[in-house]
A and B are shown apart, each in its own frame.
Chain A
């Protein structure tokens, strides 16, 4: 129970490698055309965004609406490094992510005293301020944005960075530090009385979330040649929020499922343009009506779920195994 399950880890790694390699091969052979590849990369970026926002909104219970702002910081931070210096892409991504993480601390310290609606408005405001500031700095292209960013993001990088994000956040959540973070969502007064430094863990969750949003921003910037402040507006934050709420606040696998599903849906509905948002909104209303806790609630998807269910059934049939 309390040791590394090497066998399981190797199995997961093997599955990941097989998946990555088969997609890579299909791209090489032309079975996956550039349009599908674009969507695969968008899925990866959206998973990073959704899982990182889930840490703030779902696990820590702090309702943030400014995630796109941190994505913008990461996108611009990384793009400036590749455009203005000769440093390698990896360092550019790291710089963008760290810059976004630092912004997360700076924004988090004053705003995380607020609760509920007030925090939502404050983070929304900060997201817009970040965008407003970018519009007014000519060095980084102002309202026109930055263009001519080399296309350095590829499937391999997106895939493994997505895996890294999920592992880091899942490991954080499933530790004493993650439990401290979750206790703040459950009952802040009790958490504080039980010796949890609530400010520290709120700012920590917020900055880790921002850091990965910045990473997603860096990947985004280096795939689409050009970035504009308008890309990172409130609607983008809202998009990410929808994924988190739909998947279940407090479920990493829920966020992944929702990010994959919604990215595919929005690609499939591209032709319908205006109707897309209607269908999107309708879907959200339906899910909220029938499953207000989101697809997964706070549970995680795992193969054990099925195993336990079959076990329960067997137990009932034999009339034993009560309270197992």
Chain B
């Protein structure tokens, strides 16, 4: 990833030096594929870009959505038991945000909602309208809180740093337990509280190499995988018994 920096900077500089009438915003990622290998401990996603003039930049990274159930505990006969629950159909599995200024200074709450900027503005609703009770906000907050605890939702927005007036750089950290799938990276250019333009870039997080092979094998040939797991376990047990008998 670090090796890609000089090339990227050169590319961005080239773009920045061009007559900038064509596009108000140009940006690209340091990598479009995050490979989860056996030694994966998380990754830094670096975004470089240039604007055609002054303005604020917001970068939003959204992970693949997954239906998620939030359950609330209540006291029943002295012990804590799961009581009410709510299903969120499209809860993102990751949400990171970075901006050049605090987001509520750049955009109005309506704009934040529309573009889903900031953890409190992610669109999270139960799938069917009749299930929409008035306690949605509490369940919503609980979902955000739980994801933040896992490091999957941004607690504090990161920084978009401007290098000069038009070049910018942003960094979003993917923790080790990120979900695989296709992520969406959006770059918003904001002027006078209005979103001038949005650029969307895909980012793929995928298992590569040994872990990917194991995962595929476990899912596509489950019975064979189970048998091999048994053989490995039994062989390990037998080896241990044999090895320690000699000592």
A, B assembled together: no
